[in-house]
Amino acid sequence: MKTYDAIVIGAGQAGAPLAKKLANAGKKTVIIEKRFYGGTCVNDGCTPTKTMVASAKAAYMAGKSHELGVPVKKFSVDLAAKKKRKDDIVLRSRNGGLKSAEKTQNLDVVLGEATFTGEKTVEVKLNSGKKQTITADLIFLNPGALPLIPQIEGLDEIKYLNSTTILDLEEVPGHLLVLGGNYIGLEFGQMFRRFGSKVTILEKSERIVSHEDLDISEEMQKILELEKIEVLNNAQAIKFKQKAGGKITATIAQKGEERKIKCTHVLMAIGRKPQTEALNLPIAGIETDEHGNIRVNDKLETSAAGVYALGDAKGGPAFTHISYND
């Protein structure tokens, strides 16, 4: 067993800078990351999506430039080239963060999946295949979140997309059906409409971005509809069916009535869930709520003394600036 002053689990926008601060303050620190350094923001969120938004804006401006007296007679969207640009930018950011951590004195970077085996004791299944057990008096949890996938009849039988897999498309969908009318669903919906897809957005609430004020929701819907995006409120998918190699048929329930929509792609964007299952939190005395979010006090300390939770997995707004503030 290896002993540290501090263990940080998850190299997202809370864990990565915190680990460096702890190490620079003289604490012997280890940061454990099972996937990609930088977390959601760098790899699946802010960085890749804003790169793609820039491409979508360029396509939008090309299509509207005639209104400014600069007619563009013909243009096309090369999604494969867009993806390469996105991947290059993501890799620069990811590798830059990893190299910076590896150069930091008092900080060890361990690539693998962490699981509690007792109080203040963590076993890491290293990506190399080996196992390592570590302990520390201070532990900081920044495991992040994953796309939430609902139970809908026939969903498992279609190749649906989530907010991570949609980043790697190399062809523009003919008709993208988006489940979820909040930040993620709207961002991808508008983006792919600008790339050339027909887009339909389903929102089960009375209005899109329902956490925002009513006037914000109304103006957002107007903006999207001006771009010929179909927005269906009070609507949800209840069944999916797809013939071999053919279009997907979605059965939609809206205000007590059913209708069918044929599409080529389905994006699940109804929300995210905390990535806490593999951590085996109960054995370490760490409590979660009914959604799997880690319970914390006003100092972000969990029910286990000396163990803290940061970022998306503690519940609340799932934004980069919240994680960094944590």
Q: What is the pLDDT of residues 151-161, one digit of tens each?
A: 999 999 999 99
| Backbone phi and psi for residue 78, each to the nearest 5 degrees, phi listed first | -100, 95
Fold designation for 149-270:
FAD/NAD(P)-binding domain (3.50.50)
CA distance 180 to 298: 31
CA distance 190 to 51: 14
Candidates 3.50.50.60, 3.10.20.440, 3.30.1950.10, 1.10.3720.10; correct CATH number of 2-44+81-146+273-325? 3.50.50.60
| Backbone phi and psi for residue 91, each to the nearest 5 degrees, phi listed first | -65, -40
Q: What is the model's pLDDT at position 245?
A: 75
For the chain, the C-alpha Rg in angstroms (whole number) is 22
CB 144 within 8 A of CB 133: no
CA distance 285 to 119: 7
Q: What is the pLDDT of residues 181-233, one digit of tens each?
A: 999 999 999 999 999 999 999 999 999 999 999 999 999 999 999 999 999 99
CA distance 8 to 14: 10
Q: What is the pTM of this model?
A: 0.93
Instruction: List b or e across 111-126, with b for residues whose CB sees 16 or more CB atoms inside 10 angstroms.
Output: bbbbbbeeebbbbbee
Domain with CATH 3.50.50.60 in the chain: 2-44+81-146+273-325, 149-270
Whole-Å CA distances, 237 to 25, 158, 225, 251: 52, 13, 20, 6
Q: Is 64 left (phi over 0), alpha (psi -120 to 50) or beta?
A: alpha
CB 190 within 8 A of CB 227: yes
Ranges of residues in the chain with a pLDDT under 70 are none
Q: What is the model's pLDDT at position 252?
A: 97
